[in-house]
Amino acid sequence: MVYITAGTQCMCTYGTAPSVLNVTSQSTVLMGNKPVATIADCAPNTNLPPFALCISLQNPAVQAATAAALGVLTPQPCTLVPAGTWRQSQMTTQAGGKPCLVMGCTLTCGLGGGTITVTSPSQQKVMHK
């Protein structure tokens, strides 16, 4: 099982650049001297900086800019609006009373409808017996 830690690279399906996860939900459970992320690490700007530009036509700013450009897709600055917390299919260890994130977790943006995933975990695989 691969646990997600601070410094992990994430990507949004409608973003134009990756972002790096910052863990603020807990600081006591560490792997490789990095705090392990939990489902609560989903605050815009605090935990996830913007993914540069958004290209989703569900995003009202992209809709308006694209309409003004006579239908030519016009990306706009990413404004992450999480639709809840991170989701994952596996039950995991808890840190600070919250489930730890593992590879395969996703977060949905409520503004553009993008799916945020982990693209490059910052820690190595941990085997459980």
In contact, 109 and 1? CB cutoff 8 Å: no
For residue 24, which of 10, 36, 33, 32 has the smallest C-alpha distance? Answer: 36
10-residue averages of pLDDT along the chain (129 residues): 93 98 96 94 98 98 99 98 92 88 95 95 54
Q: For 54-90, write each residue's pLDDT tens digit.
A: 999 999 999 999 999 999 999 999 999 999 999 997 7
pLDDT value at residue 120: 83
Domain that holds residue 35: 1-129
Distances (CA, A) of 47 to 61, 82, 103, 114, 127: 23, 11, 17, 17, 27
Q: Domains in the chain: how many in total? A: 1
